[in-house]
């Protein structure tokens, strides 16, 4: 009996420990916490971006008297912290990252303040082509602070070796050219499409759908991809077929977007990126330390169904959380951070010393013009033309509030279709069913 | 008298900060989780309202969730068996003093000291289908004809390879626990057994194994808790694809991606209950055998 008593006490202690570990694991991510206190003369900015050079931040402080504490948090971690802090209604930062995919969610939850009363949408729109990406139900939830968009890139050396000098403008022509490139360069899969279950795969589907001339959701947020003749269906089918036919390397089933850029395209294991991000030529491919394709990669107009296709905009934005302590300071900072001159400076107007590391391209056309005049960014005029005429928001009504669940269904089902675990039709049906369920549950 | 009372109170006074700390950081959130699991808590669909077993029903109606539970059961089975068996083998091998034992012990402990994410990243390079060591080694040894995509195409292969990464991480702790137990056994017992004509195998079965059973139980429970809560390895090696998904990964997805906090609470509660029950079962198994022996 005594032994059993000891056993039960030991067992109890162990079980308690196990339970505590589990509970701690379950609660571990919820510690959001504040990034630092703000007074009326200070603000905290939390974004997944490196800070501008200290000297420039000091200039802002000198002009306004507001001291900036910059907190650079990884993108995924930042989203979790925002969700935890906002749902707990606690202070997190005065200005924080507003990803384009979160716009509907933040508008519906009220986690971020609408910015309409601080900035004039009508006057900003002509200079900021991607502003609409941050508008949900007519409310401006964030200000774009770069102009990232999805774009096709090719290795001109590999294409030249295959005798392809005029870049194809249609998807069928692009596929044919890639087959020639594969033969001429002994590549088993010449095209990078990243098929890991991650946001990059969803974005790529929206991009290929745009190339086919459509969008995946209607203005009422209903599926626009269920008919086999719809651009969304064709795009999904094209992606799966590209993988199964060997146009895309077999290893790409678990490759993310960044891995595709840095370990596939930059190392010349592939000759083209279907869903590249604007800015990678300068920030990835032309960096000698980590690239073997320096000065070989160029942006091309995205091949479409019958001619040059559209490009999906996926810019980064910044907004003001509802729990911000210094809203006026945050407004001043966002105006300064997205100002024409400063946007051009972050992209290299004043030379490398003032560049914000990994900054893709400015959010404003007027900033592009400054860079084009200065002549210090690769293919700036071509990128500006794409931005002005071809870059469109992924969804006609902005990202829906249930975007994250929708995207999870998209990436999961396209991944499974490519891996042969379900057919294209099954993938389409599963995504459509998820949309219906999400819409019906509010 | 007062001094004696003060002396009796001292342990409680010294323990009180710890009790408050654990109470505030563990019991309160656990109790809160248990209550909130029965409420619909969704910022996208306010207000918070009582839903009874609604969250649990929704979890069991979700095919991805069921896949995750089955996957987690396999992670646990592989993790507990392999880490305890390998831990025992390694502890027996390291039991006696030999040259470079300290160096080997330090190397054995290394995987345990590394963060799980770092290990998963290392293994993602090993499993890489294009330039990974695994393909290269197996191809050089003529085991495979061409390079394979190891993760993401076959469910059970994916689960096995992910769990191997975790076993690699948790086995060192099992080794240390079992090694400590082995070293606490009096050499006199082995000497007596040797005099009685018992060989090494018989001595291990009749002396070592019964006496290290408490250590095996602790190792098994430790492996169980860690396997049941596998997250980093799955997330890094396989993303959120259902193919290799685990319960904790789904807890994260449900809570922080779907913003379904009620569902996340329910899943956390189920995981806690499963951990407690399975830990009890493992302990009962080991101690019943100990008593029978």
Interface of A with B in 109-138 (CB under 8 A): 109, 111
Q: Are residues A183 and A294 in the same domain?
A: yes
Task: For residue B276, list chain A residues with Cβ-Cβ distance below 8 A.
Answer: 15, 18-19
The mean per-residue pLDDT over the stretch A201-224 comes to: 94
Q: What is the pTM of this model?
A: 0.79
CA distance A33 to chain B (A): 14
Q: Are residues A204 and A178 in the same domain?
A: yes
CA distance A347 to chain B (A): 31
In a domain, A10, yes or no: no
Q: Does the structure show a pLDDT above 80 at A34?
A: no
Q: Are residues A158 and A178 in the same domain?
A: yes
Looking at residue A263, its pLDDT comes to 84
Looking at residue A39, its pLDDT comes to 53
Looking at residue B52, its pLDDT comes to 94
The mean per-residue pLDDT over the stretch A13-32 comes to: 37
Q: Are residues A289 and A168 in the same domain?
A: yes
Looking at residue A157, its pLDDT comes to 96
Q: Are residues A372 and A418 in the same domain?
A: no
In a domain, A367, yes or no: yes
Q: Does the structure show a pLDDT above 70 at A2?
A: no
Q: Pick out chain B residues at pLDDT < 50.
A: none
Q: Are residues A154 and A266 in the same domain?
A: yes
The mean per-residue pLDDT over the stretch A140-159 comes to: 93
The DSSP secondary structure of A285-318, one letter per residue, reads: IT-TTT-S-TTTEEEEPPBBSSSB--EEB--EEE
CATH number at residue A335: 3.40.190.10
Architecture of domain B62-292: Orthogonal Bundle (1.10)
Q: Are residues A96 and A138 in the same domain?
A: yes
Looking at residue B293, its pLDDT comes to 54
Q: Does the structure show a pLDDT above 70 at A351?
A: yes
Q: Are residues A133 and A273 in the same domain?
A: no
Q: Which residues of A308-317 are buried (b: 16+ CB within 10 A; e: fewer)?
A: bbbbbbbbbb
Q: Does the structure show a pLDDT above 90 at A225?
A: yes
Q: Does the structure show a pLDDT above 60 at A28?
A: no
Q: Are residues A212 and A303 in the same domain?
A: yes
Whole-complex ipTM: 0.74
Q: Return mean pLDDT, chain A.
A: 86
Looking at residue A390, its pLDDT comes to 64
Q: Are residues A370 and A223 in the same domain?
A: no
Looking at residue B292, its pLDDT comes to 57
CB A142 within 8 A of CB A318: yes
Chain B: residue nearest A81 by CA? B256
Looking at residue B158, its pLDDT comes to 95
Q: Are residues A226 and A296 in the same domain?
A: yes
In a domain, A27, yes or no: no
Task: For residue A108, list chain B residues with Cβ-Cβ distance below 8 A.
Answer: 44
CA distance B194 to chain A (A): 30
Backbone angles phi and psi of B32, in degrees to 5? -65, -40
Looking at residue A32, its pLDDT comes to 34
Closest listed residue to residue B235, CA positions, set A291, A76, A340, A347: A76
Task: For residue B255, list chain A residues with Cβ-Cβ distance below 8 A.
Answer: 29
CA distance A422 to chain B (A): 12
Contacts of A62 (CB under 8 A, 6+ apart): none
Q: Return mean pLDDT, chain B.
A: 91
Task: For residue B256, list chain A residues with Cβ-Cβ distance below 8 A.
Answer: 29, 79-80, 83-84
A62-118 confidence digits (pLDDT tens)? 999 999 999 998 777 788 889 889 888 899 999 999 998 899 899 989 999 999 999
Chain A: residue nearest B150 by CA? A251
**Interatomic CA distance for residues B204 and B181, integer angstroms:** 13
Task: For residue B272, list chain A residues with Cβ-Cβ distance below 8 A.
Answer: 19, 22-23, 26
Task: For residue A25, list chain B residues with Cβ-Cβ distance below 8 A.
Answer: 229, 231, 248
B183-204 confidence digits (pLDDT tens)? 999 999 999 999 998 888 999 9
Looking at residue A349, its pLDDT comes to 85
**Interatomic CA distance for residues A233 and A223, integer angstroms:** 10
Single residue among A392, A413, A428 that ends a domain in this structure: A392
Give the structural domain span for A406. 150-312+402-440
Chain B: residue nearest A104 by CA? B44
Number of domains in chain A: 2
**Interatomic CA distance for residues A49 and A359, integer angstroms:** 8
Query: Angle formed by the axes of helices B261-292 and B28-36, to 10°?
Result: 120
Nearest to A29 among B64, B225, B256 (CB): B256
Nearest to A419 among B128, B153, B225 (CB): B153
Looking at residue A377, its pLDDT comes to 66
Q: Are residues A382 and A261 in the same domain?
A: no
């Amino acid at each position: 009996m005594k032994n059993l008593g000891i056993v039960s006490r030991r067992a109890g202690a162990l079980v308690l420990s196990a339970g505590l570990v589990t509970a701690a694991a379950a609660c571990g991510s919820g510690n959001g916490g504040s990034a630092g206190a703000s007074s009326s003369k200070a603000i905290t900015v939390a974004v997944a971006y490196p800070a501008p050079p200290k000297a420039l931040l000091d200039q802002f402080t000198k002009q306004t008297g507001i001291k900036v504490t910059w907190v650079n948090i990884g993108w995924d971690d930042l989203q979790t912290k925002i969700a935890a802090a906002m749902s707990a209604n606690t202070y997190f930062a005065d200005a924080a990252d507003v990803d384009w995919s979160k716009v509907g969610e933040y508008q519906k939850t009220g986690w971020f303040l609408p910015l309409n009363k601080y900035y004039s949408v009508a006057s900003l729109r002509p200079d900021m082509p991607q502003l609409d990406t941050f508008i949900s139900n007519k409310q401006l939830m964030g200000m774009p602070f770069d102009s990232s968009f999805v774009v096709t890139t090719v290795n001109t050396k590999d294409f030249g070796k295959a005798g392809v000098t005029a870049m194809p403008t249609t998807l069928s022509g692009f596929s044919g050219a890639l087959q020639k490139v594969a033969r001429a360069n002994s590549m088993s899969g010449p095209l990078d499409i990243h098929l890991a279950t991650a946001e990059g795969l969803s974005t790529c589907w929206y991009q290929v759908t745009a190339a086919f001339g459509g969008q995946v959701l209607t203005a009422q947020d209903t599926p626009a991809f269920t008919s086999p003749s719809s651009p969304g269906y064709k795009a999904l089918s094209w992606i799966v077929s590209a993988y199964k036919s060997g146009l895309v390397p077999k290893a790409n089933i678990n490759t993310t977007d960044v891995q595709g850029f840095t370990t596939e395209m930059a190392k010349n294991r592939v000759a083209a990126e279907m869903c590249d991000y604007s800015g990678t030529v300068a920030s990835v491919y032309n960096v000698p330390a980590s690239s073997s394709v320096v000065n070989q990669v160029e942006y091309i107009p995205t091949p479409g169904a019958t001619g040059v296709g559209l490009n999906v905009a996926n810019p980064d934005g910044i907004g003001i959380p509802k729990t911000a302590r210094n809203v006026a300071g945050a407004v001043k900072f966002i105006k300064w951070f997205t100002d024409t001159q400063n946007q051009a400076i972050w992209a290299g107007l004043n030379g490398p010393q003032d560049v914000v590391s990994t900054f893709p391209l400015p959010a404003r056309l007027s900033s592009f013009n400054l860079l084009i005049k200065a002549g210090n960014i690769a293919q700036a005029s071509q990128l500006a033309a794409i931005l002005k005429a071809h870059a469109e928001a992924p969804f006609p009504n902005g990202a829906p509030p249930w975007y994250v669940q929708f995207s999870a269904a998209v990436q999961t089902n396209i991944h499974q279709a490519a891996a042969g675990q379900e057919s294209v039709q099954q993938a389409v049906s599963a995504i459509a069913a998820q949309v219906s369920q999400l819409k019906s549950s509010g | 008298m007062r001094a004696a009372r003060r002396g009796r109170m001292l342990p409680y006074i010294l323990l009180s900060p710890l009790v408050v700390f654990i109470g505030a950081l563990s019991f309160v959130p656990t109790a809160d989780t248990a209550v909130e699991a029965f409420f619909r808590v969704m910022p996208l669909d306010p207000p918070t309202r009582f839903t009874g077993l609604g969250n649990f029903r929704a979890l069991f109606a979700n095919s991805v969730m069921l896949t995750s539970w089955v996957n987690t059961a396999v992670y646990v089975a592989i993790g507990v068996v392999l880490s305890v068996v390998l831990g025992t083998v390694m502890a027996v091998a390291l039991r006696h003093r030999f040259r470079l034992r300290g160096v080997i012990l330090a190397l054995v402990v290394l995987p345990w000291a590394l963060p799980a994410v770092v290990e998963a990243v290392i293994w993602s390079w090993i499993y890489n289908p294009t330039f990974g060591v695994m393909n290269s080694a197996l191809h050089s040894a003529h085991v495979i004809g061409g390079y394979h995509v190891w993760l993401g195409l076959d469910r059970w292969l994916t689960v096995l390879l992910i769990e191997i990464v975790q076993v690699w991480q948790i086995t060192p702790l099992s080794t240390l626990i079992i090694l400590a137990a082995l070293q606490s056994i009096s050499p006199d017992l082995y000497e007596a057994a040797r005099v009685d004509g018992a060989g090494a195998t018989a001595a291990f079965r009749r002396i070592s194994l019964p006496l290290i059973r408490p250590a095996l139980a602790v190792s098994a429970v430790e492996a169980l808790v860690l396997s049941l809560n596998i997250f980093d390895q799955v997330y890094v090696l396989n993303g959120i694809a259902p193919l290799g998904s685990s319960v904790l990964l789904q807890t994260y997805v449900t809570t922080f991606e779907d913003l379904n906090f009620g569902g996340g609470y329910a899943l956390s509660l189920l995981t806690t209950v499963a951990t407690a029950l399975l830990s009890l079962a493992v302990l009962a198994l080991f101690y019943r055998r100990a008593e029978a022996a």
